[in-house]
Amino acid sequence: MRTTINFQKKSLFLGWTWGLCMWIGAIQAQHDTTYIINYADKIILKANLDTRTDAFKYKNREDGSQLYLVPNSRYRMFLSLDYEFIGVSVGLVPKFLGANADEDLKGSTNYTDYNFRFFLGKWVQGVSYSKTNGYYVRNTSDFVPGWSQGIDPYLQFNDLSNSIYGMSTSYVFNPNFSYRNIVYQNEWQRKSSGSIVASLYYDYSILKLKEGSVDAVEKFFNVRLASTYFYTWVLHQNWFLSGNISPSMGIKTSRYEAQNTDASKEVERNNYLTKNLSGGINLGYSSEKVIFGINVNVSADWYNEDDASSVETDQFYGLLYVGYRLEPPKAVKKLFHP
């Protein structure tokens, strides 16, 4: 089959979209107060060293048993580029960081991350994709009698993967608070200020396990509404400390499919009410050219599968970043400001 594309209509649509983005960018360029200095017209290059943990904890309240699945965390390099209303970051594990020394005990974990954020005035639109492949059972001693930590290998699920396709829509209420100063550092918060940031998160995730005779996949659609309070203290002319806390609630729908050994398929659908609590702290340095800092975020998400069991997802994220602001090439500047 041959597919024909109407290039004229597609070009008109892309042209209209690009024009709208240019108009939004022009509005943003006007934002400059004694509280905030905007560097959206500068290219910001950053190198980030981070580590993260995404853990699953399954609990049975009747007998007290639990299953604690965690990835074998490692340090990763994150390279990012920000200009005008667009920010792009790509995560990887370069060879010079090496592999974890305990992979023979905990197995290996592979991470993939892509994140995009678009700033449209007070609105922030986020798009993300992440995948974690390879987990081990932290509480292996509960399942293997005589197991010795540091000597015996953990129970491992090397083919257990979690893929998340996510989006978020946020609104920053206080115009004197710079959300960009925390997220991308393409603004500079000069005076202490805080704001409520209302966010709607929605994602589609796939938890897949193919281990031995087990071939199962559970697909989730999650929606949650969060109200986050951010505050940035300007400690010195160039130093700042930011903190945030965010309670939220949402709805999770799931579809579980398992291929049985007799070739039959087991299908189960469920709906859950989820609760989440997250927070973070960021200590940073900002100047006209150089930026650097450290960022720590934690998050806990939990829901009841039934009257007896619950599922908890814990996340930890640590980041060390250093960056530089520079003038864009003339060709790039002309493309955004014809």
Tens of pLDDT, residues 91-126: 666 555 555 668 889 998 888 878 888 888 889 999
72/77 Cα distance (integer angstroms): 16
Cα dihedral sign, 7-12-17-18: positive
pLDDT value of position 97: 59
What is the pTM (predicted TM-score) of this model? Answer: 0.79
At residue 33 the predicted structure's pLDDT band, cuts being 50, 70 and 90, is low
Q: What is the residue type of 199?
A: S
Domains defined along the chain, listed by start: 7-336 (2.40.128)
The sign of the torsion formed by the CA atoms of 70, 71, 73, 78 equals negative
Of the listed ranges 40-44, 217-221, 249-253, the one predicted with least confidence: 40-44
Q: Which has more pLDDT, 276 or 258?
A: 276
Residue 216 contacts residue 258 (beta carbons within 8 Å): yes
Question: What is the reported pLDDT for 109?
Answer: 86
Which pLDDT belongs to residue 11? Answer: 40
Q: What is the pLDDT of residue 85?
A: 67
Give the Å distances, CA to CA, from 307 to 59, 143, 189, 304: 11, 24, 48, 7
Decide: 213 and 229 in contact? Cβ < 8 Å: no
- E-strand ranges in 185-308 read 187-189, 193-211, 214-234, 239-259, 265-286, 290-304
The number of residues making up the chain comes to: 338
Token pair, residue 185, equals: 């550092």
Q: Nearest Cα to 36, choosing from 193, 164, 195?
A: 193
More confident residue, 283 or 182: 283
The stretch 12-38 carries a mean pLDDT of: 52
**145: Cα separation from own chain's centroid:** 37
Residue percentage of the chain with pLDDT more than 70: 86
Higher per-residue pLDDT: 119 or 160:
160
Mean pLDDT calculated for residue range 124-150: 92
Phi, psi angles (nearest 5°) of residue 75: -80, 145
